[in-house]
Amino acid sequence: MLCRNIFAIGTEETLDEDLTISARHLTMASCELATDAELLQSWDRLAQHSQSDNKGTFKMRQQASGWTFSEAALLMPLQHFLETYCVLPEVQVYKDACVSWFRLLDMLVVSATSKPQPGQVLAACEHAMNLSVAAGWGDRLRPKFHWALHYEACLNRFSCLPACWSLERKHKVVRKYGSASTNTRRFDQSLLEEVTAEHLAILCKAVHFQPAAHLVDPYPVPPKQVSALVAANIITATDNCCCSSLCHLASGAPVSKKDFVLHEPPAHAQGPMRFCCGRVEHLLQVGDVAAAVVSVCTPLSIDSDRRVAKWQHKPSDMYIMEADAMICSTIHNLSDDQVTTLLPGHLCHPA
């Protein structure tokens, strides 16, 4: 439960009103506690606003609600809870079904940096499907669940997974052309032709298929930023540099400035750490090499079972590394220079 005297959890009608938050209580009995259902309702409201709010407004909404929104953020704690605390025999079949989908998701996330063995994804998907039916959820499986059966073929053919199925639900490209079309006799064919033409135009751009990490829309580094980087011994005054606020890794995953990322240990690192953490302060292109200037995070604790790590952030301690050394950006929470990050499964329990 969450103390309602710290985080205001209102209804749809009171969500956007000014709420008075009070913590002036002397006894536990005088405190109001939110129920699990109210917490889930709060999360659902935040998910709805993530589709409509601009970035600044949504950031303030997250701060006000006490949540850091991510569609995957609740899965890791839930998986840990199921595997650790749900031990009664009568719930085993339901637990196995849920965990099988979590493990498939882990496998798909890993596929961006390490391709699974042939047949591994399909076997995991079929296993999850069968366990879901065994748990009595067969009538809840929608037809679109079958898309998961195609992931194996996509990986084998394209070495990556589709970001979306372009005509599934109301994709923005479909809306862009469909809403402007007045050809009612051949609407379906016209829409499909327009969407296909745009996809082919995108596929013809080599920038989307670069084999290594690269900056998106780089531009010359401003003089003030050059001076700061030279003063910090990150670059020299003679380096030919560009910068950007966005970088795409070789896997296609985006990394932005101010993201906390997991990356390979630098050459000077000591100890058995297989990965490090840092905040991206600058994204640079030095000559032909994409690089990231990262501020250091030193490890405080790593819980592989819960897939959570805590770090001490040192904003003034920075170093530069090749962008290809970055593994992924991570879901995090920052408080007083202490960072809590979620860890992907393949880093916690490597094969």
**Chain segment 277-317, per-residue pLDDT in tens:** 999 999 999 888 899 999 999 999 988 878 889 999 999 89
Same domain, 254 and 147: no
Q: How far apart are CA 261 and CA 296, in angstroms?
A: 11
Residue 209 pLDDT: 74
Q: 181 and 220 share a domain?
A: no
Range of the domain at 146: 75-158
Q: Quick one: pLDDT band at residue 15, thresholds 50, 70, 90?
A: very low
pLDDT at 328 (0 to 100): 87
The alpha-helical segments, DSSP class H, found in the chain are: 36-49, 55-65, 75-85, 92-110, 120-134, 151-158, 172-178, 187-203, 223-231, 345-348
CA angle 192–193–194, rounded 5-degree value: 95
Question: How far apart, in Å, do the first and last CA atoms of the chain sit?
Answer: 36
Q: What is the pLDDT of residue 278?
A: 93
Domain holding 323: CATH number? Answer: 2.30.30
CA dihedral (283, 286, 287, 289) in degrees, to 10, reads: -60
Residues 222 and 341 in one domain: yes
Domain membership flag for residue 164: no
Q: Same domain for 85 and 153?
A: yes
Q: Are residues 190 and 250 in the same domain?
A: no
> What total of structural domains would you count in the chain?
4
User: Residues 103-128: what's their mean pLDDT?
Assistant: 84
Q: What is the mean pLDDT of residues 34-39?
A: 74
pLDDT band at 3 (very low <50, low <70, confident <90, very high): low
% of the chain at pLDDT higher than 90: 22
Are residues 267 and 321 in contact, defined by beta-carbon separation less than 8 angstroms?
no
For residue 166, being part of any structural domain is answered with no
Q: Is residue 209 part of a domain?
A: no
What is the pLDDT at residue 24? 57
**Beta strands of 236-350 (E only): which ranges?**
241-244, 246-248, 254-256, 260-263, 276-286, 289-303, 308-322, 326-329, 332-335, 338-342
Q: Does 128 map to a domain?
A: yes
CB 290 within 8 A of CB 212: yes
pLDDT score of 346: 74
Q: How far apart are CA 280 and CA 278, in angstroms?
A: 6
Mean of pLDDT over the chain? 80
pLDDT for the residue numbered 1? 45
Least confident interval from 93-97, 157-161, 246-250: 157-161
pLDDT at 4 (0 to 100):
58
User: Could you report the per-residue pLDDT of 143-199, keeping only the tens digit for each?
Assistant: 878 888 888 988 888 777 766 555 555 467 777 888 777 777 888 888 888 888 988
Q: Do residues 334 and 241 share a domain?
A: yes
Tokens in use for 189? Answer: 């064919």
Average pLDDT value for residue range 8-20: 48
Percent residues over pLDDT 70 in the chain: 81
Residue 331 in any domain: the answer is yes
**pLDDT tens-digit profile of 198-229?**
888 887 887 777 778 899 889 999 988 889 88
Weakest mean pLDDT among 4-8, 42-46, 253-257: 4-8
214-215 β-sheet, strand order? 214-215, 246-248, 254-256
* pTM score, whole prediction: 0.63
**Are the C-beta atoms of residues 65 and 46 closer than 8 Å to each other?**
yes
